[in-house]
Amino acid sequence: MTTVELRAETEQWAPAFVGDHGAWSPMRSRIGRALPTAGGACLLLLDFGLVFGAFMLAYWSRFVAADLTFIALGVEQYSWMAALIAAGTGILFATHGLFDLQQPQSWSARIGGIVSSISTALVLAVAASYFLGEQAFSRLWLSTGWLTAVAILIGWHTLVPRVYTWIRDAIAIPDRVLIVGANRLGQELAAELQGEFHVVGYVDNGSELERSPNLPLLGPIAQLEQIVQAHGVNEVVIALPTNRREQVTHIVNRGFHRPVTIKFLPELGELLPQRFELQEFGGRRYIGFAPAASVSWIKRVVDLAATSLGLLLISPILLAVAIAIKLDSSGPVFYRQVRVGKNGRQFGMYKFRSMIVNADRKLSDLREKNEASGPLFKMKDDPRVTRVGKFIRRWSLDELPQLFNVMRGEMSLVGPRPPIPAEVDEYEEWQLGRLRAVPGLTGLWQVSGRSEVPFHDMVRLDLHYIRNWSIGLDIEILLRTIPAVLTNRGAY
């Protein structure tokens, strides 16, 4: 949630709130703010050491010491390989959010991220060693090291949230937050902040707290300054609509007798991107941002270079899939479908045929069995899909011919998925914003669960990508695509 932070200061500050935490509570509060970043960095180093240690433990273990492959390669080569796997695992852990200590993922999500990250890092490291001309590493060592690393990391990351909470409670105190606005938005905000912060209560002129008995209404807005002092508040979050902020603005402009951070919750909500500018014109402040981020020419260069290399490397796979489709069912190997690209321009998108011939004509008979939301049509057991089609869909092999669309400039490696014209006809006005970018072979939707993600959430992910595009974001999505394909999540 994006906030605009201001610093409300006065010429005379009262002594910092001491309470039950001792005279050094201001220092502990600063430590608390820095702890998530420092903890994430320490966790990265620890995970690197654990993965490296797991593979080196496998090297020295008696279970693999008798493997004759170790005669050809010494400990230096195996140490280099273990370090490469550990570094790749750390990068992939970051893309899975495993270093986010403030908002830890669920236990199942952590396990999935650990297994897919270590597996992908191992595959990439083996491929890199092959292209660098290294001799083959022991398969027994790779499998033993993988199993050891997975077991250690699952156990360690099960304890991480508890360890972090214990350290945070021992050496830092959470910021004391006061929410101005006892409306629905303020109560939702309080529920989100509790745990990470100490929410002391609400300030409002109304009494809408029947549904929130755990947090009190501390007083009216006119007494905001006194309440901030009495409760030692560090942060004030204003969750009022614009037409109710005048009284709060006067108090903020006057300042408080202690250092307090003020956060206004913008009504722009999800429309506000991560990158925006605070501008001043004619004595007024404005929030400025572009509806779509400017895309660099580097994106097109990366598309051409990566696609050319990719087509060369996967040409045997393309040939094998084409032969399998031809032997499995009658009809053409490729399927060309009209899709909608950037700014509504239509083009022919190529795919391996995964359905029977004339499958489009039978779509109307299956509409009532649609399992997707919005204008999309998805069925897990679509009767039109062939035997080979089920396999290539499961592993996303049917999408590979779209690399030719990337070469022609009709698509990109990363971007929103191109819809069919019938879907666009059913779009709401705000959903047309996803047509402002060149469609992609993969995107945030694919790495977030594909068909498991509701249509409106898919559009929000696409809009987030369009507003916040960067080369780094493209690289992150491409890296996350590998485990997404390997785990088959939402693919049908």
Instruction: Answer yes or no: is 193 within a domain.
Output: yes
**Domain end among 155, 171, 187:** 171
Q: How far out from the chain centre does Cα 296 lie? A: 22
Last residue of a domain, one of 171, 198, 217: 171
Domain range enclosing 416: 297-487
Residue 19 lies in a domain: no
Name the domain count of the chain: 3
Burial class (CB in 10 A: 0-12, 13-18, 19+), 62: exposed
Identify the pLDDT of residue 451.
Answer: 60
Residue 394 sits in the same domain as residue 355: yes
How many whole angstroms separate alpha carbon 240 and alpha carbon 426? 35
d(CA 238, CA 259): 16
Residue 261, φ and ψ in degrees, nearest 5 = -95, 130
Q: What is the amino acid identity at position 169?
A: D
**181 and 308 co-located in one domain:** no
For residue 214, give the CATH number of its domain. 3.40.50.720
Name which of 414, 425, 413, 406 is nearest 340 in CA terms. 425
Query: Are 328 and 415 within one domain?
Result: yes
Pairing of strands 277-281, 260-264: unpaired
The encoded tokens of residue 199 equal 């929410």
365 plus 480 within the same structural domain:
yes
Concatenating the DSSP letter of every residue in 434-457 gives GGGS--EEE-HHHHTTGGGS-HHH
- CA angle at residue 174 from 169 to 176, to 5 degrees? 150
Are 198 and 309 contained in the same domain? Answer: no
Round to the nearest angstrom and report the end-to-end CA distance of the chain. Answer: 33
According to DSSP, the β-strands at 176-180 and 4-8 are unpaired
What is the phi/psi pair of residue 465, to 5°? Answer: -65, -45
Q: Residue ranges of the chain with pLDDT lower than 50?
A: 1-24, 71
Work out whether the CA dihedral 245, 248, 249, 252 comes out positive or negative: negative
- Tokens 């399927």 map to which residue? 335
User: Smallest Cα–Cα separation from 175: which of 261, 268, 106, 70?
Assistant: 261
Structure tokens at 393: 């869909």
Residues 9 and 35 occupy one common structural domain: no
415: in domain: yes
Q: Residues 175, 263: contact at Cβ < 8 Å?
A: no
Same domain, 143 and 33: yes
Beta bridge mates, 482: none
- 40/31 Cα distance (integer angstroms): 14
For 184, list phi and psi in degrees, rounded to 5.
-60, -45
What are the helix and strand counts (H, E) for the chain? Answer: 17, 12
**343 and 214 assigned to the same domain:** no
Residues 10 and 35 in one domain: no
- Strands (DSSP E) contained in 293-369 are 334-340, 346-352
Residue 461: the pLDDT is 86
Nearest Cα neighbor of 482 from 293, 310, 305 is 310
Q: Are residues 85 and 59 in the same domain?
A: yes
How many Å apart are CA 355 and CA 55, to the nearest integer?
44
Give domain status of residue 279, yes or no: no
Is 305 part of a structural domain of the chain? yes
| Best CA proximity match to 159, nearest among 119, 194, 107 | 107
pLDDT tens-digit readout, 106-160? 777 788 889 989 999 999 888 888 777 666 777 888 888 999 999 999 989 888 8
Q: Which tokens hold the place of 283? A: 């004595």
> Are 343 and 454 members of one domain?
yes
190 assigned to some structural domain: yes
- pLDDT value of residue 315: 93
Q: How far, in Å, CA of 1 to CA of 265, rounded?
A: 8
Cα distance between residue 233 and residue 198, in whole Å: 9
Same domain, 51 and 159: yes
Looking at 113, 147, 171, the residue that finishes a domain is 171
Report the pLDDT value the prediction gives residue 398, as an integer from 0 to 100. 92
Measured CA distances, 421 to 343, 345, 430, 436 (Å): 12, 10, 17, 15
| Residue 285 counted as domain residue | no
d(CA 123, CA 125): 5
310 domain-assigned: yes
pLDDT value for 26 = 55
> Looking up tokens 């994106």, which residue turns up?
299
Burial class (CB in 10 A: 0-12, 13-18, 19+), 42: middle
